[in-house]
Amino acid sequence: MNNVLLTGGTGYIGSHTCLILLKQGFKVIVLDSCISSSSKSLEGVKKVFGKDWDSFSDKLQFIKGDINNFGLLKQLFQENILLGEPIDGVIHFAGLKSVKDSIIKPIEYWESNVMGTINLIKVMNLFSCYKIIFSSSATIYGINKGEKIKETSDISPVNPYGSTKATVERLLQDTYLSDKSKWSIMKLRYFNPIGAHASGLIGESPLQSPNNIFPLLMDVAAGRKKELKIFGNDWDTFDGTCIRDYVHVMDLAEAHVKSFEYLFSTEPACISINIGTGKGTSVLELINVFKKVNLVDIKFSFTSRRKGDLSCVVADNSKAKEVLGWNPTRNLSDMCRDGWKWKKSNPYGYK
């Protein structure tokens, strides 16, 4: 197996995974509409290779296009078969990811995340490509009692974005059940990815205004925002602020390589796996580590709770360790240092 299609591969997690796959010797085809990213991220990937890029340049192809374009997807699979290099597997990152926007524009979310995936599965089936890794999310889990979340915990999303992710998981399960001898499906449930590649050459560069804490926090550190508004200091946690499981984007990217190794060495299956560190960090702790590691100030104030937030979301990651042999190796200081290196060198992202 060496020819991989990355839908959404110019995005934040996709570009970091693209880099690792190339380094591991994969041939990578990136398909992205660039609705929320820039293809300049792939220039960043090239820069990481530096003068060695020449020996990799034929291993990366970028196609600008939408996963809802059935004809384009068909052509892509067909062309690679004609070249004698059929696509062996797909990592499906493409999708819209803002919880807030999904409440305002649910149809766009269902269209991109659910209909787009149906389209992709139809074309994969047509060309007998049966291996797929899907970007799912911890957001599909319902309210928890503060304990670590297992893959068997209740699925009960509370916003349209979460509903689309849970629906795709169901769709993939049904696809697998339709012929258990065919499909190998990995649904990775990401917790809170942050940070950047240690080079500072690639990182998160959202086109829309961010709602997530890490890009907002870096905007404050960079002086582009006056202060960070912390959503509540009256939560049932040790310091009153919400707890999340932050995971370094490079550790997350590595989980995809491990997943491919698994899918290509075992019998067909459909598996869900949490990708988090298993360590909870409060908002105040995150701010303090960021300040300490990077020697910068972060101004903040408390405001009321954000609707739909949960007090504590931390992964039980034992399945990732057992099944994939995946062990995150980067800690919160690494996440803060690497994220800030990217932001300092690229205050406006890829723009």
- Regarding 99 and contact with ligand UFG (CB under 6 A), the answer is yes
The rounded radius of gyration (Å) of the Cα atoms in the chain is 20
Strand, coil or helix: what is 134?
A: strand
Size, binding site for ligand NAD by CB under 6 A? 27
CA–CA distance, 171 with 163 (Å, rounded to integer):
12
Among 16, 27, 97, 341, binds ligand UFG (CB under 6 A): 97
Rounded-to-integer distance, Cα 286 and Cα 339, Å = 13
- Answer yes or no whether residue 248 interacts with ligand UFG by CB under 6 A: no
In the block, which residue shows the tokens 């992710």? 165
Q: Where are the beta strands (DSSP E) in 65-181?
A: 89-92, 131-137
Closest CA to 116 of 162, 182, 69: 69
* CB-nearer residue toward ligand UFG: 3 or 211: 211
Q: Rank residues 124 and 213 by Cβ distance to ligand UFG and give the closer one.
A: 213
Active site residue 161: yes
Active-site choice (161, 176, 190, 262): 161
For residues 315 and 279, the answer to whether their CB atoms sit within 8 Å is no
List the interface residues with ligand NAD, window 38-77 (CB under 6 A): 66-68
Whether the CB-CB separation of 67 and 73 falls below 8 Å is answered with yes
Cβ proximity to ligand UFG: between 40 and 305 the closer is 305
- The entry of ligand NAD, ligand UFG, none near residue 237 (CB within 5 to 8 angstroms by kind) is none
Please report how close the Cβ of residue 128 comes to ligand UFG at its closest, in angstroms.
Answer: 32
43 token code pair? 């220039």
Residue 33 binds: one of ligand UFG, ligand NAD, none (C-beta under 5 to 8 A by kind)? ligand NAD
Q: Site for ligand NAD (CB under 6 A): which residue of 22, 96, 172, 286?
A: 96
Q: Show the site string, 222-241: x = touches ligand UFG by CB under 6 A, - = not.
A: -------xxx----------
Q: Transcribe 285-316 into DSSP letters.
A: HHHHHHHHHHT----EEEEPPPTT--SEE-B-
| Gap between the Cα atoms of 5 and 92, Å rounded | 8
Position 27, amino acid: K
Question: Which residues are the active-site residues?
Answer: 161
Footprint of ligand NAD on this chain (CB under 6 A)?
Answer: 7-8, 10-14, 32-37, 66-68, 93-97, 112, 116, 135, 137, 190, 193
Binding-site ranges for ligand UFG (CB under 6 A): 97, 99, 137-139, 191-192, 211-213, 216, 229-231, 242, 244, 283, 306, 309, 313
